[in-house]
Amino acid sequence: MKSIVALAGGVGGARMSDGLAEVLPPGKLTVIVNTGDDFEHLGLNICPDLDTVCYTLAGLANSQLGWGREGDTWEALSTIGKLGGPSWFRLGDRDIGWHLERSRRLRRGQPLSRIMRDFCDIFEIASSVIPMSDDPLPTWVDTDQGELAFQEYFVKRQCHPRVKGFRFEGVERAKPAPGVLESIHTSEFVVICPSNPWVSIDPILSIPGVRQAVREKVVIAVSPIIGGKTVKGPAAKMYAELGIQPSALAVAHHYDDILTGFVIDREDENQASAVSDLGIEPYVCNTWMKTRRDRQELAKQLIEFGSKLVIQ
């Protein structure tokens, strides 16, 4: 069996990837992860989406918070807070160790993709986890309060500013990381995880060569919007602020040049025929991943649906 490629952002991407990894034979999943929200903080190179995916696949993620490690401690951060330093971005002690070592290797000139491959090996993650690019590609959010760096918008201002657009700085010259195009080319099909289309998936698809490679494949997306809302994160809010009614159908429109199939929640069953009208095969099931069982159940149906589309 060929591998399956998943394009992923943070929590939704991590949960979907985890479900797929559990259901597929070991090593048959490649996750290509957004790095547009990577940033430097306290001198540390932080890759929120990559880390959420890795921690989740390693079974170490903090499932309540949606970021960081389960059972992590907060000694370093509380010292920083006491000293009057910035403690708005919550970093646990084990998480800081992970960041310190990655930052050390990056400063030595090692590519991010190689470092993450080593980290995944050490943490016994059977799937391949690849950053979308080894080049820094920061996402900027244009808002009514000016253009903001992503984490400034996302964490510090808690997505309050009204969004007007997005910019992926340096994307014209960016190269996909080693393995990105190869894994897409040789894949059975591509899954777009229920991640934020604007700031998690679009950055991946904007890297020269990626959209084209994806377009040659059967591609199925899982809607991150259920009943007009997102499970987590600002995707629905962003659609509304950009003048688009947030819905599963809006997501199908968003990806309509590349999608073969589109998975929507039972709650949005009434949008299936409109999806179909776009020339995209709809698939209706429960998409809300509350438990690990939900992830695996969704992954099973996804694989079945994707395999059916490949044969067609």
Interface residue with a copy of itself among 2, 90, 104, 167 (CB under 8 A) is 104
Shortest Cβ 136–a copy of itself spacing (Å) = 17
Q: CB burial class (10 A; 0-12, 13-18, 19+) of residue 279?
A: exposed
80 lines the binding site for a copy of itself (CB under 8 A): yes
Q: Is 82 in the site for a copy of itself (CB under 8 A)?
A: yes
Span of 87-95, 195-203, 225-233, 242-250 interacting with a copy of itself by CB under 8 A: 87-95
Q: How far apart are CA 205 and CA 191, in angstroms?
A: 13
Q: How far is the CB of 311 from a copy of itself (least distance, A)?
A: 42
Ramachandran category for residue 43: left, alpha or beta (phi over 0 → left; psi -120 to 50 → alpha): left
**Which span (81-89, 159-167, 173-181, 225-233) binds a copy of itself, by CB under 8 A?**
81-89
Output phi, psi for 261, to 5 deg. -135, 160
First to last CA, the chain: 17
* Selected range binding a copy of itself among 77-85, 135-143, 155-163, 299-307, rule: CB under 8 A: 77-85
**90-96, Cβ contacts within 8 angstroms, sequence gap of 24 or more:** 90/65, 91/41, 91/42, 91/44, 91/46, 92/68, 94/69, 95/51, 95/68, 95/69, 96/44
Q: Cα dist. 220→96, 125, 239, 263 in Å?
A: 35, 24, 21, 7
- Positions 16 through 45 that interact with a copy of itself (CB under 8 A): 42-44
Which residue from 25, 86, 170, 209 is in contact with a copy of itself, where contact means CB under 8 A?
86
Question: Interface with a copy of itself by CB under 8 A: which range of 99-107, 162-170, 204-212, 270-278?
Answer: 99-107
Which residues are at the interface with a copy of itself (CB under 8 A)? 42-44, 72-73, 75-80, 82-86, 92-94, 96-98, 100-101, 103-105, 107, 118-119, 122
